[in-house]
Amino acid sequence: MNRVRWIVVGSVALLFVLVVVLVFQIAIRLNSNSTVAALEREQEALQNQLINAERDISYFQSPEFIEDWAREHLGLGRPGQSIFTR
């Protein structure tokens, strides 16, 4: 009878340990999933910044930018517009 009691106590203790390990594994998994989701959002934001930067670079290297800059900073007019200065 004593032997059966020790087997039952050992089985319950093992079950308790396994349940605790399972709960911790689930918590770690949920934390990992939220971290992955946050990193994916950050990656998407960085990819959008990269696309915007590439778009800006192509604009800064275009003749359109040179014309826009000249109009804004040098007082030149729009295409077809006559500007008379003294």
Task: Give this prediction's pTM.
Answer: 0.57
- pLDDT value for 86: 41
Low-confidence ranges of the chain (pLDDT < 70): 75-86
- pLDDT value for 65: 86
Tell me how crowded residue 34 is: count the other CB atoms within 10 A of its CB: 10
**Half-sphere exposure at residue 31, Cβ-oriented, CA atoms within 13 angstroms:** 6
- pLDDT value for 80: 59
Tell me how crowded residue 33 is: count the other CB atoms within 10 A of its CB: 10
- pLDDT value for 63: 85
CA distances from 10 to 3, 13, 16, 22 (A): 11, 5, 10, 18
Q: What is the C-alpha to C-alpha distance for residues 53 and 73, in angstroms, rounded to an integer?
A: 23
